[in-house]
Amino acid sequence: MTAQPNAEPATLHERIRADIEAKILAGIWRPGHRIPFEHELTAQFGCARMTVSKAIAGLVDAGLIVRRRRVGSFVAQPRMQSVILDIPDIQADILSRGEVYRLNLLSSQRREPARGQPDEQLLAGAGELLAVRCLHLSDGRPFALEDRLIGLSAVPEAEYADFSATPPGTWLLDHVPWTEAEHRITAINADAATADLLAIENSAACLALERRTWRGKQHVTHVRQIFPGAAYDLVARFTPRSSDASMR
């Protein structure tokens, strides 16, 4: 949990927000209930309308309130909607746990996109691809196996980067602003080669995390990271509008 549990909020709009939130959580205002109009809250709290509006806007962000013009603002139907999952930089994550990070660069080669792989051709654009394969180690133990493709037309300077000094993911974060990413999380049985590299049993369950990243419409990189399922979990903790998440 990030925030202290019961600290009285300092600012007025936060107190108003907390006041409304408390009524909802206590069940006094059930889903679908119309909360007081903004001008009523203005009178109740003796403040300007913008302040009330800011408080409600926060509750809308948190998914607790729905506003409808000409009608009013209502307590939202609860939904298992957005859950914030943090998928951190592997190096930073290992270091933050006080463990020793090491990268084993298995291969790195420039090549043409494969025929019959429209994904690779989109990633390559007019240029070529950089294919990097590496193993992340934490305290000497395999932590994740990474296969990455980088579009050299999007990131030409990647060709000259030293990925044994800086892991490719970290390097890209530092060099390329991204606007969009798609993640896919799957469970797979490790094949023989993967199991060997990760030092796990053959066909042991692993988490496969695939991420494709764009800058604007330009596809920047596509990475697949495989984590031993027995050792590492993805954890996401959610509180409306404040979250804590990590990989354990």
Partner DNA sequence: GAGTGGTCTAGACCACGTA
Partner DNA sequence: ACGTGGTCTAGACCACTCA
Interface contacts to DNA, rule CB under 7 A: 11-14, 37-39, 46-51, 53-54, 56-57, 67-73
Q: Are 135 and 167 in contact (CB under 8 A)?
A: no
Contact status: 18 vs a copy of itself (CB under 8 A): no
Q: How far is the CB of 26 from a copy of itself (least distance, A)?
A: 8
Contact status: 188 vs a copy of itself (CB under 8 A): yes
Query: Which candidate, 104, 156, 170, 94, places its Cα nearest to that of 133?
Result: 104
| Residue 165 DSSP symbol | T
Nearer to DNA, 70 or 79 (CB): 70
Query: Which candidate, 176, 168, 163, places its Cα nearest to that of 149?
Result: 168
Q: How far is the CB of 216 from DNA (least distance, A)?
A: 24
Contact status: 45 vs a copy of itself (CB under 8 A): no
CB neighbour burial string for 71-82, b if at least 16 within 10 angstroms, e if fewer: eebbbbeeeeee
Q: How far is the CB of 212 from DNA (least distance, A)?
A: 31
Which of the choices a copy of itself, DNA, none does residue 115 contact, using the CB cut-off of 5 to 8 A by kind? none
Query: Which candidate, 24, 15, 76, places its Cα nearest to that of 45?
Result: 15
Please compute Rg for the chain using Cα positions: 24
Per-residue tokens: 69: 């013009």
Distances (CA, A) of 234 to 6, 164, 186, 208, 216: 28, 26, 12, 11, 28
Per-residue tokens: 52: 């009330």
Which of the choices a copy of itself, DNA, none does residue 47 contact, using the CB cut-off of 5 to 8 A by kind? DNA
Which of the choices DNA, a copy of itself, none does residue 89 contact, using the CB cut-off of 5 to 8 A by kind? a copy of itself
Binder among 36, 125, 127, 229 for a copy of itself (CB under 8 A): 229
Distance CA 76, CA 185 (A): 29
Nearer to DNA, 68 or 217 (CB): 68
Binder among 39, 44, 48, 88 for a copy of itself (CB under 8 A): 88
Residues lying near a copy of itself in the complex (CB under 8 A) are found at: 1, 5, 24-25, 27, 31, 50, 61, 77-89, 169, 173-174, 176-189, 203-207, 215-217, 227, 229, 233-240, 243, 245
